[in-house]
Amino acid sequence: MPSNINSITVNTYLSGQGCVWTFNPPHPSHMGGSWERMIGIARRILDSMFLELKSSTLTHEALTTLIAEVAAIINARPLVPVSTDPEDPFILTPATLLTQKVSLFSTWQL
């Protein structure tokens, strides 16, 4: 914490607000659980995009586009097991929860 901040005052205020601190060591990735898994998935998607790109330099615009594509891919993954029943085409995804719209991807290639 910076030296100009009174840590006792900050801790008292945050405790009064109901904040609870959870210690997460910086090195063991197994302590991160689900968010570490999502970081790994995003990294694998980006790695595959960079392999297709075959370029080591990116503009800010290109990197922004790649990150937006990674977010779209991650948000399109199913959250629950996908039904094999053709009469039940609804697939719950994070994008469905974020936009509150049912996607038109009623036929997924499994």
Q: Is residue 107 part of a domain?
A: yes
Tell me the pLDDT band of 104, cut-offs 50, 70 and 90.
Answer: low
Q: Is the pLDDT of residue 96 over 60?
A: yes
Is residue 41, in this structure, part of any structural domain at all? Answer: no
Three-state SS at 19:
coil
Is 106 within the bounds of a domain? yes
8 occurs within a structural domain? no
State the Cα–Cα distance between residues 82 and 105, nearest whole angstrom: 12
Q: How far is CA 80 from the centre of its chain?
A: 16
pLDDT digits (tens, 9 = 90+) for 83-95: 888 787 778 888 8
Number of folded domains in the chain? 1
Residue at 40 is within a domain: no
Distance CA 93, CA 36 (A): 19
Cα 47 to Cα 26: distance, rounded to the nearest angstrom: 23
Q: Residue 39 domain-assigned?
A: no
Q: Is residue 84 part of a domain?
A: yes
- Note whether residue 44 is domain-resident: no
Tokens of 29: 């990735």
Task: Write phi, then psi, for 27 (nearest 5 degrees).
Answer: -100, -45
The predicted-structure confidence for 17-67, as pLDDT tens digits, reads as follows 998 877 666 666 666 677 778 888 999 999 998 888 877 788 899 889 999
Q: Which of the four pLDDT bands, split at 50, 70 and 90, describes residue 110?
A: very low
Residue 89 domain boundaries: 79-110
Where do runs of H (alpha helix) occur along 7-106? 7-16, 34-53, 60-75, 94-99
